[in-house]
Amino acid sequence: MTNDRALPGGCLCGSVRFLVTERPMGVVNCHCGQCRRFHGHFGAYITVPRDTVFFDADATLAWYRSSAIAERGFCGRCGSSLFWKGDGKATVDVAAGSLDQPTGLTTLRHIFASSKGDYYSFDDGLERFDGEAPEPP
């Protein structure tokens, strides 16, 4: 199930390896407090349908219920931050930093920009939303 547009990825120690078979529009940076704690900085994600993520190795993949509406996936061995999935959503957010390079992706926007950490700024000309970005038409 590989193609030239597929995006392989995995954790730091290699115990979790996956392939995303649908290319997203691009990367979204999330500045919410939970992403900042989970990633150690803001979270950079791609959003793809759940059924387009295939695992080659997932024995150490663990899930943490981070809120009443979502779970976060990480490697239980090395601790790499890998996924965010909202309850009842057909999509999953994949940490862009877990993708093998080169991805050919670009960053599209910032979400939860009003919650960003006080130790950094951004002035990159990208769209900014104080909460979630509106759904595309």
**What integer best gives the mean pLDDT of the chain?**
94
Find the length of the chain.
Answer: 137
* C-alpha span between 82 and 61 (Å, rounded): 9
Torsion sign, CA atoms 40, 129, 103, 99 = positive
Instruction: Give pLDDT, residue 134.
Output: 76
Instruction: Give pLDDT, residue 136.
Output: 60
Query: Which residue is it, tokens 């919650």?
Result: 115
Kindly tell me if the per-residue pLDDT of 66 is higher than 60.
yes
- The structure's pTM equals 0.93
Instruction: Give pLDDT, residue 3.
Output: 60
Average pLDDT over residues 117-130: 95
Give the side-chain half-sphere CA count within 13 A for 6: 14
Long-range pairs of 130-135 with CB within 8 A, sequence gap ≥ 24: 133/28, 133/109
Beta strand extents in the chain (DSSP E only): 7-10, 17-20, 27-30, 43-49, 53-57, 61-67, 70-75, 81-86, 91-95, 107-111, 127-128
